[in-house]
Amino acid sequence: LFNHESPRRGETFVTRKITRAVARIKLGLQHALHLGNLDAQRDWGHAADYVEAMWLMLQQDEPDDYVVATGTLHSVRDFCELAFGRVGLDYRDHVEVDPRYFRPAEVDLLLGDASKARSALGWSPRTSFLRLVDTMVDADLELARREAGSASFTHRAAA
C-alpha cells in the first residue's frame, strides 16, 4: 500500500500536519507551518479507496500480491498549495521551510504501479488528489472550529 490518507491520519504525518495547520491558521489559532522538503513527491491516495482494493483482494480464489497506489505523483508543495487554497490562503505566506525538518535519508519520490490491481481486480482509485486534500482540510476545519469553541467556552466559564 502506498501512502493512504484520510482525515483520520495521525497528526505527525505531513499531510495531516498540513491540513491541521491550514485550519488553525485560517481560524487565527496558528501563524505559521514549519515544514522540511517541499519538493518531496509522493503517491498519495484516499484510504477508503485502498480499503476497497483490499476487500477485492480478499474476494479472489487465490492469494496474490498487489500494489495499491494511484500512479500519480504530487509534491508536498502541491499539497500545501491546494490545502491553503481551499480556505482562500496562499501557502507561501504561511509555510516556512525549516532545515530541521529535512529527513537525512529523504527519498525524493515514491510512485506506485497498480496496473496489476487494475487488471486482476478491476480496481482503480476513485478519489482525486484535489478531493482528498479538500476532504482532509474540511474535516480539520470542523475539528479546529470545535476546539476553538471549546477553548472560548472554557475561557468564558473561567472568567
For the chain, the domain total comes to: 1
Q: Which domain holds residue 61?
A: 4-158
Q: 11 vs 6, 19, 21, 76, 140, CA distance in Å?
A: 11, 9, 10, 15, 10
The pLDDT value recorded for residue 113 is 97
pLDDT along the chain (159 residues), means of 10: 94 96 97 96 98 98 97 98 99 96 84 97 98 98 90 50
Asked if 44 and 5 count as a contact pair (C-beta separation under 8 A), the reply is yes
The pLDDT value recorded for residue 156 is 47
pTM metric for this prediction: 0.90
The pLDDT value recorded for residue 151 is 62
Contacts of residue 116, defined as CB under 8 A and 6 or more positions apart, other chains included, come to: 66, 67
The pLDDT value recorded for residue 152 is 56
Residue 143 belongs to a domain with what CATH number?
3.90.25.10
Alpha-carbon torsion 2, 16, 93, 95, what sign?
A: negative
The pLDDT value recorded for residue 105 is 81
